[in-house]
Structure 1
Amino acid sequence: MTRRKKLRWIKHYNNRQKILLVGEGDFSFSSCLANAFGSATNMVATCLHSEDVQITKHWTSIPHLKLLERKGCTVLHEVDVHDMNHHPTLYYMKFDVIIFNFPHAGHYDHLCERDDELIEMHKALIEGFFKSTRKMLNENGEVHVTNRDDFPYNRWKLKKLARKSGLILKEKVEFKKQDFPGYHNKRGGEINCNKTFPLNECYTFKFSLPEKSAEIYDCVSDIQIMKLEAVFQGVHLNNYHCSSNQPMRPLRGKPTSWE
């Protein structure tokens, strides 16, 4: 008989959850969780860059990556949040928690955080992330986005972006860096990428699928809205079909095992 792991918590996270971390800066947040759990076999930690670029931009990641390897974490480089649900390692995996801390579309000499152009880039990044994550959640799974909620970051409208992707806000809790020993937030991008930035009015936004729809299907929203409008207008849209029993897409092969 296999002995069940002793339950170990750090804030919202425990060692029995299947956890995916995306957009890691120097992997210090993943390292913090691994230290708290005593193991990282329940974790997949990812970043956008290749291993060489990662170490060049975030040299402080070297000890954290070594620790994660010792603790049994799966570390993946060159993972793009826009299509990570199609990544060959992640494709068949489902998670209890997917974490994206301080998402950011990059720093540019000609743009500041309050500029509309950069804000739209941030929103596109987060919307792409949400669309990927909704297909990667276990039943009752959650998506956690930690971000500043003061101006101009509150213009990103996280709740609205989540709703567009079929996710709802369950809870919003204050984020305190000191709750995660050893974690250092990083700017990323191309300018002063390994430096930190002020964490003013930070919160962790917890999103989930609506209770009734662990299976979200892509054809629902527009067609059902049209049908509802047609009912009130006395018009029948018999040419439109969208079955609530229709799965999103068939799986090709067997899911990856966590065991």
Structure 2
Amino acid sequence: MAPRRLLLVGEGNFSFAVAVSETLDPSTSLTATCLQRPADLTPDPVARENLQRLRERGTKIRFGVDCTQLADAFELHEREFDRICFNFPHCGRKAGVARNRDLLAKFFQSCADVLAEEGEVHVALCRGQGGTPADNPTREWHNSWQVVAMAALGGFILSDVHPFSYEAVPGYKCTGYRSQDKSFHIEGALNHIFTRSLPFEGSQPRIFKIKLDDRWFSFPEPEALVGKLNREKPVFSLPGTVTFYQLPFGLIF
């Protein structure tokens, strides 16, 4: 289903925004953002032309938007985006995988503040970066960006992965960090689609009760066993004892 409100973050020369704007349904509201200020893009003739085309189409453009602080960029009535897209995020220059993981983690946590409840987050990564079985070749886990784990920190789960089709966005020119001339290699790139995970309803510790001689003793269920023991009767048996049973007030054996 086409998004009603689409947010693009981390735009470099806004060529992706221009390409997307040509394919969107007229009812879709597009907001394109970048970290740079207008003066930073003035020397780039491609960026200037793309910005002009977007303005002519009525596209909303925001400068100086930090993708890790999206709540600061949008008022409450401006949020509830149906889709947020971040293409080829990167901290820049020779940043290692740890810094790029941190960028992703903060981005996903930020998305949680401005995404509609049923919305999607799309993250395009170069071949091998994501650290999922869909990557070909697959990097060692410690050398990947661990995108699924980073998304989980924001409360998101991976719902789908498919090739990033740059043929579907003609005119798109992927640029490096802060619109540097050096582009990313996007052959074999993948688009990762995330949705909100269901709230985790953690199991509550139970109280164990034991009768020794004529006295009752109680103790909490060990944390390591919370959620792992069967709560149906009988629960389990131990050698030399009777079976544990689940009772309204706890467990007795």
What TM-score do the two structures reach when normalised by structure 1? 0.69
- Distance in 2 of aligned mates of 1:152 and 1:158: 5
Higher RCO (CA < 8 A, seq sep 6+): 1
Q: Which runs of 5+ in 2 are unaligned?
A: 132-138, 209-218, 222-253
- Distance in 2 of aligned mates of 1:122 and 1:128: 10
User: How far has the Cα of 1:37 moved from its partner?
Assistant: 2.7
Mapped pair 1:161 → 2:147: no
Partner of 1:178: 167
Percent identical across equivalent pairs? 26
Further displaced range: 157-166 or 145-154: 145-154
- Distance in 1 of aligned mates of 2:147 and 2:71: 20
DSSP-derived class of the 1:156 partner: coil
Partner of 2:8: 21
Is the alpha carbon distance of 1:105 and 1:65 closer, same or farther for their aligned partners in structure 2, counting shifts above 3 Å? same
Which whole-Å deviations, capped at 9, do the CAs of 1:45-100 have from their partners, x for residues lacking one?
000010111233x4411111111101111100000011111224577411110000
Partner of 1:121: 99
Rg comparison, structure with higher value: 2
- Distance in 2 of aligned mates of 1:209 and 1:152: 18
Asked whether the 8 Å contact 1:18–1:42 carries over to 2, the reply is: yes
Mapped pair 1:49 → 2:36: yes
- Distance in 2 of aligned mates of 1:106 and 1:163: 24
Further displaced range: 142-151 or 95-104: 142-151
Asked whether the 8 Å contact 1:167–1:207 carries over to 2, the reply is: yes
**What is the aligned length?**
201
Is the alpha carbon distance of 1:168 and 1:52 closer, same or farther for their aligned partners in structure 2, counting shifts above 3 Å? same
- Distance in 2 of aligned mates of 1:169 and 1:130: 12
- Distance in 1 of aligned mates of 2:60 and 2:68: 20
Partner of 2:191: 204
- Distance in 1 of aligned mates of 2:77 and 2:66: 13
User: How far has the Cα of 1:140 moved from its partner?
Assistant: 1.4
Partner of 1:36: 23
Moved over 3 A (4+): 38-41, 88-92, 151-154, 230-234
- Distance in 1 of aligned mates of 2:68 and 2:89: 12
Is the alpha carbon distance of 1:160 and 1:89 closer, same or farther for their aligned partners in structure 2, counting shifts above 3 Å? same
Which whole-Å deviations, capped at 9, do the CAs of 1:86-142 have from their partners, x for residues lacking one?
2245774111100000000011xxx3xxxxx62111111111110010121113100
Higher strand share: 2
Q: Which runs of 5+ in 1 are unaligned?
A: 1-12, 112-116, 214-219, 237-259
Mapped pair 1:94 → 2:83: no
Q: Which amino acid aligns with 1:166?
A: G
DSSP-derived class of the 2:67 partner: coil
What TM-score do the two structures reach when normalised by structure 2? 0.70
